[in-house]
Amino acid sequence: MTPALLMLSLLAAASSDTAASEAAVARADRGRFAPAEWGYYYYLSTSAAPPSLRPALARTAAFVVASASRAVVLEPHLPARVENGDLYRIDLRALEWDWRDWRRVLARYPYAPHTELPLIVRADWLLVELTDAFAADSYYRLLYGGQNIPATRDDFLKFWGVSSDTDFRIGLIEGQSGVALAKIRWIENRPTVNRGYAWGTRDSARIDAAADPLERPDGQFQHQAEEWIVGIPKWSQTGTRGTLQAYLLANGQGVRQDRAPADIVADQTRFRGTPEIRTCGSCMQCHVAGIKGPKVNELRATIATGVDLYADRSTQEALERFHLADVEKEVRRNREDYAAAVQFITGQPPEQNAAELKQCLDWYDRDVSLEQAARELGAAPDELRRALALASARTGALGARLSALAHDRPMPRSVWEGAFAEAYIALRAWRKL
């Protein structure tokens, strides 16, 4: 064997050892528990990411996993690092995830080219899977349970114990909105029964006499889209109390929709590269520190110009109670609760957490290079190139994208997910030579 081939073999062995080593570590860790409990333990791996990104990926995965859990106490449902490596153990029971729902999620996993459900799941894939409810129902399925996925805004609010009592709602008509293309939107806050909070917005594609909230400050105006955010109370055994957030988008009739029309509202953060708002990744990236404070209270500003509110006494009191309440104070309190939970989970303030979340999501959606594909397969780049060349020579049917990958042309992540199994089989055939 020439020195060059010897070096290639050593690189391939070192790379392929990663997956086998992780599997051995995971099995050994699970073996510390009673066999009857093994079906509840699974592992998240950050090893598919470049080493520099792995700490951020671990933190954001913990944040998203916790956000997709109904569990209240934080410690038991945070991923536990195994042997100071790139593996993190989760317990379905602690997360309150039904094992049948988890299996439905795993059935979509593209990086396990065999019939068995994987013991180890890539953290970067799960991050995307749980933040794009338009692409899959995994976020809803795990957070609510397969039998309780909300179909409407009312289902969502009822699930989280949001009060329907109109006497305690406060809000405003926001001007200069950075999300609503019409630049004006309705915002309201409702109380909950569990020490959380609930905020909703209503938006229209265009503002006219029927759709202008300023013309109908009682809320009886037409709209086409809604966004709802509920604070889920969380607390730590150390005494820290805070909230994470659940999200829902709906149309004007209150029916759930997993992406909002881009001609009504826009995602300036461009979650997954699109301008449309998607549950819940767009919301997490946009609401950097939790609930956003309003820019302009349009009704207050209108009154300041000399306009008076005229209505019967009870109606005027209701309007003043809703529109002239100290909304900013409620926003500050909710942001403090959100910051406490995020800081506990990630060790980072919410602003840094949101930046790392976007960094990890954007990285996953980047085109996959030959080097990155090899890392994900546990191979050296040149070994993967040779394996693809052999597969092409033997079958003559290697896809255009994989063929181009062998020539160092990156392929879209969405295509790589579907081509992974084919590349895996080609690599195994190469290694049998």
pLDDT per residue as tens digits for the range 31-73: 999 999 999 999 999 999 999 999 999 999 999 999 999 999 9
| C-beta of residue 401 within 8 angstroms of C-beta of residue 363 | no
Question: Between the CA atoms of 26, 108, 357 and 380, what dihedral angle is there, to the nearest 10 degrees?
Answer: 60
Helix crossing, 350-364 with 327-346: angle to 10°?
60
Q: Are strands 120-122 and 41-45 parallel, antiparallel or unpaired?
A: parallel
Asked whether the predicted pLDDT for residue 17 surpasses 60, the reply is: no
Q: What angle do CA 177, 179, 185 make, to 5 degrees?
A: 50
pLDDT mean over 387-398: 88
For residue 195, name the pLDDT band (cuts at 50, 70, 90): confident
3-state DSSP assignment of residue 254 = coil
Q: Whole-angstrom Cα distance, residue 324 to residue 146?
A: 41
Residues pairing with 259 in the sheet: 278
Show the tokens assigned to 11.
Answer: 């690189």
Which tens digit of pLDDT belongs to each residue from 209-220? 999 999 899 999
Show the tokens assigned to 156.
Answer: 């969502």
Q: Whole-angstrom Cα distance, residue 6 to residue 81?
A: 35
Question: Between the CA atoms of 59, 267, 256 and 231, what dihedral angle is there, to the nearest 10 degrees?
Answer: 40
